[in-house]
Amino acid sequence: MYVSPRMTDSEYAAGKALDKVRHENNLRFDDCLHLAVSMRSFRAENVSGFVKALLDCETQTARDSFGELAARYPIVITRDLGRAKEWTRSRARGSERFGLVASSKAQRLKPHAIDIRVNVDPVQWFLNNRNDTRSSYYLEDAATEFQVQGLELDWACVTWDGDLRFTGSGWSYHDFRGSRWCNISKPENKNYLRNAYRVLLTRARQGMVIFIPTGDASDLTRSPEFYDSTFNYLADLGIPVLG
């Protein structure tokens, strides 16, 4: 039996399970089988490593990884959803597919006409043509991590809500219940949310734009502080800001 030693990386949460079998006589670790090695992106082998470092708050590693992939895998960030959509459309050539994605806990993107409660049919979203409003091309219906898991786009417009917030040294995890955000305390639920963003940030084969709202000081559910630190963190990693 062959197991990759890098399966102990944080995103796979396999450390405890591997510890139990590590000393088995018929087991040998093989790094070539590591599932983090991207087999999808033909332009950016380092995307998964960059996203891992970003979400693990390994700032310098993330900066270095981004520096290696930026020239062949464009990533930009913006506070303007209209510009994000414009950037996405302008990048695609021919039949290249693009689409809008969001976390399944992104409940406060509704003011931007992004409602993750809308039932998205993955078949229509991924396969229908540009003239079909149900297709990803329209950049209207956002697919969640559930609908895009294991699938891919050429270009992605990733929307980032207040469910996952950078605090300056790590992440703050939240679930919107009723009329307010609630802290997520269980470690397994925190890992689930972080991995949801890992899925969203690794769906694009050729590049992506990340939209982070400015928030609204008059709306307690969309306070600018829920978003600003995350935007500043991504900008500090070297990701260019789209005006």
Please state, in angstroms and rounded to a whole number, the distance separating the CA atoms of residues 144 and 8: 26
Please indicate, yes or no, whether residues 8 and 102 belong to a single structural domain of this protein.
Answer: no
DSSP 8-state symbol, 108: G
Please indicate, yes or no, whether residues 14 and 86 belong to a single structural domain of this protein.
Answer: no
Please indicate, yes or no, whether residues 73 and 17 belong to a single structural domain of this protein.
Answer: no
241 belongs to a structural domain: no
Tell me, what's the pLDDT at 169? Answer: 87
- pLDDT tens digits for range 64-118: 999 999 999 999 999 999 999 999 999 999 999 999 999 999 999 999 999 999 9
Please indicate, yes or no, whether residues 167 and 90 belong to a single structural domain of this protein.
Answer: yes
Q: Distances in Å between the alpha carbon of 201 and those of 47, 128, 225, 242?
A: 9, 23, 22, 17
Q: Is the dihedral of CA 118, 234, 63, 188 positive or negative?
A: negative
What is the pLDDT confidence band of residue 239, given thresholds at 50, 70 and 90? very high
Residue 142: strand, helix, or coil: coil
Please indicate, yes or no, whether residues 99 and 174 belong to a single structural domain of this protein.
Answer: yes
Please indicate, yes or no, whether residues 72 and 177 belong to a single structural domain of this protein.
Answer: yes
What the block records as the tokens of 27 is 């087991």
What the block records as the tokens of 29 is 């670790």
243 belongs to a structural domain: no
Could you give phi then psi for residue 222, rounded to 5 degrees? Answer: -135, 40
* pLDDT beyond 90 at 173: yes
Please indicate, yes or no, whether residues 104 and 77 belong to a single structural domain of this protein.
Answer: yes
229 belongs to a structural domain: yes
117 belongs to a structural domain: yes
Please indicate, yes or no, whether residues 146 and 169 belong to a single structural domain of this protein.
Answer: yes
Report the CATH number at residue 219: 3.40.50
Please indicate, yes or no, whether residues 114 and 203 belong to a single structural domain of this protein.
Answer: yes
242 belongs to a structural domain: no
What is the pLDDT confidence band of residue 17, given thresholds at 50, 70 and 90? low
Tell me, what's the pLDDT at 131? Answer: 95
* Structural domains in the chain (count): 2
- pLDDT tens digits for range 176-201: 999 999 999 999 999 999 999 999 99
Q: How do beta strands 98-102 and 28-29 pair? A: unpaired
Q: What range defines the domain where residue 11 resides? A: 1-37
173 belongs to a structural domain: yes
Count of all residues that appear for the chain in the document: 243
94 belongs to a structural domain: yes
To which residue do tokens 């709306």 refer? 219
DSSP 8-state symbol, 143: B
Could you give phi then psi for residue 15, rounded to 5 degrees? Answer: -55, -50
Tell me, what's the pLDDT at 37? Answer: 47
Residues 6+ apart with CB under 8 A from 218: none
Please indicate, yes or no, whether residues 1 and 62 belong to a single structural domain of this protein.
Answer: no
Please indicate, yes or no, whether residues 74 and 27 belong to a single structural domain of this protein.
Answer: no
Please state, in angstroms and rounded to a whole number, the distance separating the CA atoms of residues 137 and 98: 6
138 belongs to a structural domain: yes
- pLDDT tens digits for range 20-78: 656 666 667 666 555 544 444 445 468 999 999 999 999 999 999 999 999 999 999 99
Please state, in angstroms and rounded to a whole number, the distance separating the CA atoms of residues 82 and 212: 12
Please indicate, yes or no, whether residues 202 and 225 belong to a single structural domain of this protein.
Answer: yes
